[in-house]
Amino acid sequence: MSPPRWPRPLTVLARWLLGTVLVTWRYLWETTPLYRAGECEGDEQDRPPRIPPDAVDDTVQLAEDGFGPLFHRTFRVHIAGAAGVDGARLVEQLCCHFEHFVPSEVVGIRVGELRAHGLNVADELLVEMPGPWNGPVRVVRRDSELLHLVTLRGHMEAGQVQFRARRDGDLLVFEIELWARAATRLVHVLYSHLRVAKEIQLNMWVRFCLSAVKASGGRLVDGVHIRTRRLQPSRMTPRKG
């Protein structure tokens, strides 16, 4: 007799409860140095990059569609000893095995049928998170050393994220850069006021950076560097059309 199948919501909830306990435990005992520059006010240079017009449709959730301030965040690690792995190779691993870079205790990745080279422009994937926070995203750009995603309707955030990798002398540099606002007023409260979602996001991206270090085969140098800049809603331009 085959084992009973749990309803999908119960499975997601069970994974979230157990995963959150494990992730929180790891976060509390995390020994990786985190260098968090103090949050400061941003300017026009913190606005998200323009997306090709043909990549924007009614399902795309731009930063202009969100609530509250825009948060421009950067997570950066320097990797030593990544022999034979350059920026292009690391981005290729990310595109082919995106699910290996996220904290699987809480987050799941669902993608359609991928080509041999992995994620490419117009491909979509679903980042499964607890409760109503699933995060659909779409690839809007892929270069040899860059993967660029935009959020879609239903994501808890409205904005964009870029993953970049490059050589800097003997070191390999991996960087995540985000431009995001809360997609709803509820998320705005959790993120900007209670700061719950913001800390969960920080933990996830730190883990993502450490996964990149592991995938490179090298070792982390000088911890994870985190920068946050905040652009007020009054400086955001509404979507046209």
What is the CB neighbour count within 10 angstroms for residue 53? 7
Q: Does the structure show a pLDDT above 80 at 88?
A: yes
pLDDT band at 61 (very low <50, low <70, confident <90, very high): very high
* pLDDT digits 0-9 by tens, 9-57: 455 445 545 555 555 555 555 678 989 887 899 999 999 999 988 889 9
Q: Does the structure show a pLDDT above 90 at 105?
A: no
Q: Which residue has the higher pLDDT, 186 or 231?
A: 231
pTM of the predicted protein model: 0.82
Check if the beta carbon of residue 46 is closer than 8 Å to that of residue 183. no
pLDDT at 66: 92
Among candidates 94, 72, 100, 110, which has minimal Cα distance to 146?
94
Q: Which residue has the tokens 């998170």?
A: 129
Highest mean pLDDT among 26-30, 78-82, 185-189: 78-82
* pLDDT digits 0-9 by tens, 129-161: 655 566 899 999 999 999 999 999 988 889 999
Query: 18-22, 64-68, 199-203: which range is least confident on average?
Result: 18-22
Give me the half-sphere count of Cα atoms (radius 13 Å) on the Cβ side of residue 201.
27
Q: Which residue has the higher pLDDT, 25 or 221?
A: 221
| Cα–Cα distance for residue pair 71/43, rounded to 1 Å | 11
| Amino acid present at 127 | V
Query: 24-33, 130-139, 171-180, 224-233: which range is least confident on average?
Result: 24-33
Highest mean pLDDT among 21-35, 93-107, 162-176: 162-176
Q: Which residue has the higher pLDDT, 90 or 130?
A: 90
